[in-house]
Amino acid sequence: MLEQVRGSKELEIVLNHTTNAWEDVTEKKSTNFCQQLARLKLAIKLRQKFFVAHPNCQQLLSAIFYKGLPGFRDRNFVIKILIILGVAIASPLLSIIYFITPKSSFGKFARRPFIKFLNHSASYCFFLFLLILANQRINFDLIFGEKSASMVHDEYNQDLNLKEVRGPPPTPVELAILAWVFGFVWVEIKQLWKEGLCDYCSDLWNILDFITNALYLCTVVLRIVAYLQVEAEMRNPEMRHLGRHIIRRNWDEWEPTLISECVFATANIFSSLKIIHIFTVNPHLGPLRISLGY
Confidence of residue 215 (pLDDT cuts 50, 70, 90): very high
Helix/strand/coil percent split, the chain, to 5: 70, 0, 30
Quote the pLDDT of residue 264: 93
Q: How far is CA 234 from the centre of its chain?
A: 38
Quote the pLDDT of residue 183: 92
- Of residues 245 and 157, which shows the higher confidence score? 245
Q: With 80 as the cut, is the pLDDT of residue 144 above it?
A: no
Q: What does the alpha-carbon distance between residue 263 and residue 217 come to, in Å, rounded to a whole number?
A: 10
**Weakest mean pLDDT among 48-57, 93-102, 254-263:** 48-57
Range with top average pLDDT, 2-11, 42-51, 223-232, 283-292: 223-232
What number is the average pLDDT over the span 267-289? Answer: 75
What number is the average pLDDT over the span 237-247? Answer: 65
Confidence of residue 29 (pLDDT cuts 50, 70, 90): very low
Cα pseudo-dihedral 58, 64, 68, 74, rounded to 10: 20
Q: What is the mean pLDDT of the chain?
A: 77
Quote the pLDDT of residue 239: 64
Quote the pLDDT of residue 52: 78
Q: With 80 as the cut, is the pLDDT of residue 285 above it?
A: no
3-state secondary structure 130-176: HHHHHCCCCCHHHHCCCCCHHHHHHHHHHCCCHHHCCCCCCCHHHHH
Q: What does the alpha-carbon distance between residue 244 and residue 231 come to, in Å, rounded to a whole number?
A: 9
Angle in degrees, CA 151, 154, 155, rounded to 5: 85
Contacts of 1 (CB under 8 A, 6+ apart): 14
Q: What does the alpha-carbon distance between residue 220 and residue 229 come to, in Å, rounded to a whole number?
A: 14
Quote the pLDDT of residue 25: 47
Q: What does the alpha-carbon distance between residue 48 and residue 15 come to, in Å, rounded to a whole number?
A: 13
- List Cα–Cα distances, 20 to 11, 16, 24, 25, 82, in angstroms: 17, 10, 6, 9, 44
Tens digits of residue pLDDT in 16-28:
777 654 454 444 4
Q: What does the alpha-carbon distance between residue 32 and residue 12 come to, in Å, rounded to a whole number?
A: 12
Quote the pLDDT of residue 291: 58
| Closest C-alpha to 85, from 120, 109, 116, 118 | 118
Q: With 80 as the cut, is the pLDDT of residue 117 above it?
A: yes
Q: Count other Cβ atoms within 10 Å, centred on residue 23.
A: 12
Helix and strand totals (H; E) in the chain: 17, 0
